[in-house]
Amino acid sequence: SIAILLYLARKFKTPDHWYPSDLQKRARVDEYLSWQHVSIRGKGSKLFLTKVLMPLLTGQPLPPEKLECVTKELNVVLKQFEEKFLQDKPFIAGSEISLADLVALVELMQPVGAGYDLFEERPKLAEWCRRVKEAVGKQLFQEAHEGVLNIKNL
C-alpha cells in the first residue's frame, strides 16, 4: 500500500529521490499517489480482471465489446498520465525516479501481463518505462513482475 511505502521511506531514511524533501517535488509524488488509486490502478486492474481472471474463473470467453470498453477506459487514464504527470520530464517528480514512478509502473504491469501492450503506440510512456526499469535494475524488475507477467500460463 501507499501508506506502508511512505512509512518505509521515512523509517529507513531512503535516498531523497524516492520521497523528496523538496516540497514541490514531494507534492508531485503525493499528487500522483493520490490520483492513481481510481485511475491507473482502477482501470489497469479492471482490464486485468476482465481479460485474465474472469475467463479463468468462469471458463467463459470474454465478450469483445466488454474488453473494448475496459481498454478505452484505460487509454483515457494513460493519456492523462502522460499529459499531466510525465509531461516532458524523465520521471513524475522531475529528473530522478521516485515512489510515484515505482507505483505507476507496478500498476501498469497488470495490463501488460494480461497481454495488452500499452507501450506500443506511446513512445513517451515507453521511454519512461525504460528509464524506470533502468533505475531499479532490469533483473530486479523482472523478478518483481515474474508472477503477473506469466499469469497467462495458468
* Domain layout of the chain by residue ranges: 1-7+28-153
User: Average pLDDT for residues 51-68, to the nearest whole number?
Assistant: 89
- Residue 154 pLDDT grade (very low, low, confident, very high; cuts 50, 70, 90): low
Identify the architecture of domain 1-7+28-153 in CATH: Up-down Bundle (1.20)
C-alpha cell at 108: 501498469
Alpha-carbon distance 70 to 19, whole Å? 32
4: its cell numbers: 506502508
Buried b (16+ CB within 10 A) or exposed e, 57-67: eeeeeeeeeee
- Provide the sign of the torsion angle of the four alpha carbons 140, 107, 92, 16, taken in this order: negative
pTM for the model: 0.92
Amino acid at 146: E
Q: Please provide residue 94's backbone torsions phi and psi, each rounded to the nearest 5 degrees.
A: 135, -130
User: What local confidence, expressed as pLDDT, does residue 139 receive?
Assistant: 96
pLDDT in tens, 95-120: 999 999 999 999 999 999 999 999 99
Residue among 36, 62, 39 at smallest CA distance from 114: 62
